[in-house]
Chain A
Amino acid sequence: MIQHLLHISHVSKHFGGNVAVSDVSFSVNEKQIFGLIGPNGAGKTTLFNCITGFFPATAGDVIFDNKKINALRPDQVCKLGMVRTWQRVKPLENLTVLENVMVGAFSITNSTGEAEANAMEQLQKVGLTDYVKKSAGSLPIGLKKKLELARVLATHPKMLLLDEICGGLNHTETDLLLDIIRGIRMKGATIVFIEHDMKAVTSICDRIVVLNSGEKLAEGTPEEITSNPDVIAAYLGGGHHA
């Protein structure tokens, strides 16, 4: 039997009178790379915020690793093994690159030495070893995205939620990052991936959910999604709905 690692069940999120996410359900299996796509304002990041405890869902359940995590705080969610990156990167600007990743590493150790070793390992993985002593705020955007990735990897997560990790990167950088992500999956982690760039998503994802105006529009394999007329309409006409 296939194990569901994350199960989203009828999740809705309202802000006052505005419905940002409406009755969305899907399941993510272990070791899957799962894509969450949709036009601007479709509710992808809001859904991430609901899942990771930044603001609780108005209705519905979030089940992770067989535990209901609706009411947990972000740090508790992280401790359970689910960690997210940010669409607008959030480097700890006045700390060094190494220290940034160490902060992630401290979620699984109390020892500064161990945290440092773990952090170096992750920095090696994403290719940031030349920048360890630089302040995180001074990095260009491409490297900040890599830093975000290294930082969450240091928490040794079961599941990573990556919010537009390739946004603002050029082709070479994107390909490099996608390779790293494939590598992470090989090691046994599960990945949920918010992305704008359809090409990136279809090339890497096993399964995709499409959101539009807060609702689930379609779910399927990359082939099914790219040939789905509703999805094509939503993407082409996305500007009107946004």
Chain B
Amino acid sequence: MTAPAPSGSAPPTSAPPAIELVGIDKRFGAVHANKDINLVIPKGTIHGIVGENGAGKSTLMSILYGFYSADKGEIRVDGKPVAIRSSQDAIAAGIGMVHQHFMLVDVFTVLENVILGAEGGRLVAKAEARARAELHRLETEYDLAVDPDAVVETLSVGLQQRVEILKALYRGAEILILDEPTGVLTPSEADHLFRILRQLRDQGKTIILITHKLREIMAVTDHVSVMRRGEMVAHLTTAETSMEKIAEAMVGRHVLLEVDKGPANPGAVLLDVSGVSVRDKRGVTLVDNVSFQVRAGEIVGIAGVAGNGQSELIEAITGIRAPTSGTVTVNGQPVPADPAKVRDLGLAHVPEDRHHMGLVLPFEARENAILGYQDDPRYGSGLMQDAGAILKTCETQMAAYDVRPPTPRLRTSLFSGGNQQKIVVAREIERDPKVLVVGQPTRGVDIGAIEFIHKRLIDLRDQGKAVLLISVELDEIRSLSDRVLVMFAGKVVGEVAPSTGEGEIGLLMAGVAKDRQGKGAGA
């Protein structure tokens, strides 16, 4: 299903384009975020915008949605120039946005969320009645069924996203911008989203899809524009291009999409997780009797949709949280609930969320280079820290991992996402651990750095270390791992070979097909 049906696309000749950007230019200080951007999006098409982190996609969309105003250039909607100075202007011009992080009030019902900010009067009862009728119409027209009286926090992520789309449509959006919409969805939820998007397009809506997943671009878009370093470098018709070509345009050189690795050579068990369960304060089981082993010289991947207990499992393994029951051993030694002691056993941990856990962003890079190892005698003894040794460590790590700029005294928040992640990975790998637990190693990291980090993980495996990889990127899990475990609702619901089809793993991730013993029919 690579080639989208061109039937729904409006003839580009007659009608004016839904959106036309002419010479959009935006600077943030020395950073030239958008350089003379020209973009034409015909009515009734799905248009993909791809680019690495920091290429300027978000800035461009923020300009279109009124969060920033451009220094130069013009925005035309349906052929008419419009001034968009706020999101209200954007909504008035018929532009709606579905953010990557949902903008919903969790404890409100779907209906309340939909009318929020568009109540149109002091009393909500009238607005609710109006919205209810309108929701019903949208539901039938676009196959967007959601119970209007359900409280948002009880809905699945896929349904919450649908509420966001409904919100935009309720406000009369003709043009819908979706920012990385599939990051939190299972493959089947993503498929459903794409069906909705196609339906919206066929009804004449225009859709802009921002993503870094090339597979999705190929699956759902009609046209794709590629950004690199603030410039539009290519406008392609999806049916006439390939993933490799798009990737090349994004990075500016040929990239290896597949990871190059030899067969694994598993040795002794270095990480043994046995019957681990984690319950939270309310008694809800987050991790349910999970057991597995990771051997020296292999990478074990844990696939799963975010929020199915992976984070809590990592916390239990790395000593951040004591498991309610079960044991974890590293190299035969039981793991205590103290991350400092776990590190001493030879376990290193690249956390899932570098901003909240892996780094202290306001710190200088050199201070983050010792986070977790701050009590190591190499970095000071007694009361004082050894500033010289810390600086040297940071310089060495920065050189080995090509961190740019190589400035140990620069504030960490000022590095790009990829370089921040390199600081974390360098810190954890350079300690020569026996076991590496790594969560979402390439989230928000540009393609060049992804290649680099993947290679380091493979190197580590080939040196005979045990690597446990947790990622919501199925592609990443499949290309790096030697064995794949799938988690759903806190349980490991299956172990598959990395060569297993995406469809089959996707079903496991969604909790369907629990016993897929023998035949892998679903793919």
Q: A and B from one assembly?
A: no
Q: Chain B interface (Cβ within 8 Å of chain A)?
A: none
